[in-house]
């Protein structure tokens, strides 16, 4: 199946630092979503992006839909301990053959914040 | 609204045993999904449903079956559990409109010995 390359796989940062992670693909996507998964919980949506070039913020989080439609990034500013978790990107392929209800997920970025 | 709920939360099986995982959603969503999550593998789609009584295979369907008799429920069955099916299973649902967002349940942790 289609792959999303998400990087980095893991990050260990100090409280207060900014964080950046991204997803790239060789395929074009119509939609990019960013989820966060807290330990022992299911993923929760953080930000949804629907247009190329779109830049959207949610509190200290900012995400952008790449102009080429093949990538997206997520930034977290001034990290705090509760930012700990796994961050997933997910996208819907442009040429999904009518399967506009399936998402392709990245493998996740594990974020650890040291107080 | 409870959103997406899953039962059980945790289960231990012996190889060869069968079990059914239940997913329920109260958001009147059209689409429902079963994923498994394994370390370093992200979320992999097992089966999904695009409407009542309609199901389809995902990326890793082997060893699993599903049932969608009611709009709000989606069942995942393991007929003969194998150690390779030890995983965390997540159910998700999505409405039928242009919103691509999938809403996830809290997960079922399954250990097959």
Query: pLDDT tens-digit profile of A28-67?
Result: 998 999 999 998 899 999 999 999 999 999 999 999 999 9
How many CA atoms, within 13 angstroms, populate the side-chain half-sphere of residue B41?
13
Interface check for B88 against chain A (CB to CB < 8 A): the answer is no
Distance CA A79, CA A46 (A): 15
Over residues A87-111, the pLDDT tens digits come to 999 998 876 555 567 889 999 999 9
Query: Which among A1, A88, A101 has CB closest to B43?
Result: A88
- What pLDDT does residue A6 have? 96
Residue-wise pLDDT tens for chain B (113 aa)? Answer: 789 999 999 999 999 999 999 999 999 999 999 999 998 888 999 999 987 778 999 999 999 999 998 899 999 999 999 999 999 999 999 987 778 899 999 999 999 99
Distance CA B34, CA B24 (A): 12
Distance CA A1, CA A14 (A): 36
- What pLDDT does residue B98 have? 77
- What pLDDT does residue B69 have? 87
CB B18 within 8 A of CB B79: yes
Residue A1 has pLDDT above 80, yes or no: no
Distance CA B50, CA A63 (A): 29
Q: Could B104 and A43 be called an inter-chain contact, meaning their C-beta atoms sit closer than 8 Å?
A: yes
Residues in chain B closer than 8 A to A101 (CB atoms): 31, 48, 50, 94
Determine the residue among A33, A42, A103 to mutate to test chain B binding: the one whose Cβ has the most chain B Cβ atoms within 10 Å.
A42
Neighbours of B9 (CB within 10 A): 11
Length of chain B: 113
Mean predicted lDDT score pLDDT of chain A = 91
Higher pLDDT, A103 or A80: A80
Q: How far is B14 from chain A (nearest CA, A)?
A: 23
CB B31 within 8 A of CB B46: no
Q: What is the distance of C-alpha A5 from the center of its chain?
A: 11
Determine the residue among A10, A43, A108 to mutate to test chain B binding: the one whose Cβ has the most chain B Cβ atoms within 10 Å.
A43
For B109, the token pair is 């942790």
Q: Could A42 and B43 be called an inter-chain contact, meaning their C-beta atoms sit closer than 8 Å?
A: no
Tokens 């997520």 correspond to what residue?
A74
Neighbours of A38 (CB within 10 A): 12
Residue A113 has pLDDT above 80, yes or no: yes
Beta bridge partners of A37: A86
Which residue from A67, A68, A79, A96 is spatially nearest to A21, judged by alpha carbons? A79
Q: Could A101 and B42 be called an inter-chain contact, meaning their C-beta atoms sit closer than 8 Å?
A: no
Beta strands in B15-107 (DSSP E): 19-25, 31-38, 42-51, 54-57, 65-67, 73-78, 87-94, 103-104
Q: Could A102 and B48 be called an inter-chain contact, meaning their C-beta atoms sit closer than 8 Å?
A: yes
Distance CA B59, CA B85 (A): 14
Tokens 């250990």 correspond to what residue?
B111
Higher pLDDT, B39 or A74: A74
- What pLDDT does residue B97 have? 75
CB B20 within 8 A of CB B79: no
Q: Which of residues 11-70 of B touch A (CB under 8 A)?
A: 31, 40-45, 48, 50, 58-59
């Amino acid at each position: 199946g289609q792959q999303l390359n998400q990087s980095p796989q893991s990050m260990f940062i100090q409280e207060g630092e900014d964080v950046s992670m991204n997803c790239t693909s060789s395929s074009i996507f119509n939609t990019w979503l960013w989820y966060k998964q807290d330990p022992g919980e299911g993923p929760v949506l953080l930000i949804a992006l629907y247009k190329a070039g779109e830049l959207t913020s949610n509190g200290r989080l900012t995400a952008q839909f790449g102009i080429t439609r093949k990538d997206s990034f997520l930034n977290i500013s001034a990290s705090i301990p509760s930012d700990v978790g796994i961050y997933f990107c997910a996208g819907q392929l442009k040429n999904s053959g009518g399967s506009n209800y399936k998402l392709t997920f990245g493998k996740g970025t594990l974020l650890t914040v040291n107080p | 609204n409870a959103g997406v709920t899953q039962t059980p939360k945790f289960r231990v099986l012996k190889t060869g045993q069968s079990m059914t995982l239940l997913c329920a959603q109260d958001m009147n969503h059209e689409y429902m999904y079963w994923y498994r999550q394994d370390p370093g593998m992200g979320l992999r789609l097992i089966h999904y449903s695009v409407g009542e009584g309609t199901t389809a295979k995902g990326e890793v369907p082997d060893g699993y079956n599903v049932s969608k008799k009611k709009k709000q429920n989606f069942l995942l069955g393991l007929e003969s559990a194998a150690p390779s099916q030890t995983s965390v299973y997540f159910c998700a649902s999505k409405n039928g409109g242009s919103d691509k967002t999938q809403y996830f349940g809290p997960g079922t942790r399954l250990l097959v010995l």
